[in-house]
Amino acid sequence: MPDEVFIYVIVFGTLLGTLTFAAVLVWFERRLLGLWQDRLGPNRVGPFGIGLALADILKLLTKEDWIPPFADRIVFIFAPTAVLIAMFMGFTVIPWAPGVQIVDLNIGLLFFLGMTSLAVYSVLLGGLASHNKYSLLGALRAGAQMVSYEVFMGLSLMGVVMLAGSFSLVDIVNAQQDLWFVVSQPLGFFVFLIAGIAESHRLPFDLPEAEHELVAGFHTEYSGMKFGMFMLGEYLGVILISSIMATVFFGGWLGPDFLPPFFWLAIKIFTLICFFVLLRAAIPRPRFDQLMSLGWKIMLPLTLANLLVTGGIVLLTGYQP
């Protein structure tokens, strides 16, 4: 197969695969929550309630797409698309298997961090353009939360970069042939996990859209497919964060030979997504000031300590990637 055709196949495969998985994830999350909370979950629309995902999509497509007369129309329309663009761009550097990747950038990790940083504009613009006080408060919360935890997310990965000697995700996977980085960088993994939950503003860190305080936060005024795009962006964020964690800390596609490399990566991503769902079922939401204190008073010192210890070990042992 010519290289150009192969690239197009990977691009469309990644696009359709992530979109389909994000839609199915809505149903899967509800079923898993039902199992863990000792209730049935979706079980009426289709076998095992699997038609619920299709019913949700149909509802969003046919629901009235209303734009408030007091909203900034152009920015209001653009905001939901920004998060989808940022998430899809983040998937371009994920190595799904040896040689199966849209692009292998030598700054792949930095590119991922840049794309997650751009996602904050979506919620800020959506909350600002809505001209609603609850939306604005939710957008300000999201901005503070995402910008703050981007710092810890980036710093938590620097220990991995020291040990791999590269920002390329392919090089990072290959550097884990003998030992996964979750073993040599447990503190970095812990900080990245917490920061990833905060970045995707998933429970228990869904404070930008806390319904008991802010109605629905930054997307209060959104309906129809625009709301669906925000919702899709959140699930794509969960898949993207899980993909990066599986790649950077759990060896990516590496595994025993009895399964193809892609399946090992898929199993790791699926397990991490289940962990995200379990957090929603088990942990209550903290206050916003507690979340910010956790970041600046605990996460930041932990990341700096991890950098100091990793750098010292590399320097003293003369470690060469």
For residue 306, give the H/E element and its range. Answer: helix 300-317
- For 116-154, how does the pLDDT look when each residue is reduced to its tens digit (9 = 90+)? 888 888 888 888 888 888 888 888 888 888 888 888 899
Using DSSP, state whether 131 is helix, strand or coil.
coil
Q: What is the pLDDT of residues 211-263, one digit of tens each?
A: 666 666 777 888 788 888 888 888 899 999 999 999 999 998 998 888 899 99
Structure tokens at 266: 């898929």
Per residue in 269-287, pLDDT tens?
999 999 998 888 888 888 8
Angstrom distance (rounded) from CA 12 to CA 197: 27
Q: What is the pLDDT of residue 211?
A: 62
Chain position carrying tokens 């300590």:
305
Band the pLDDT of 59: cuts 50, 70, 90.
confident
Domain count, the chain: 1
Considering only 30-44, 100-114, 201-215, which range has the smallest mean pLDDT? 201-215
Q: pLDDT tier at 156 (50, 70, 90 boundaries)?
A: very high
- For position 170, what pLDDT does the model report? 93
What radius of gyration, in Å, describes the C-alpha atoms of the chain?
A: 20
- Domain limits at 255? 3-317
pLDDT at 212: 60
Inter-residue contact 239 to 14 (CB < 8 Å)? no
Q: How many CB atoms lie within 10 A of CB 241?
A: 26
pTM for this predicted structure: 0.92
| Chain mean position to CA 174 | 23
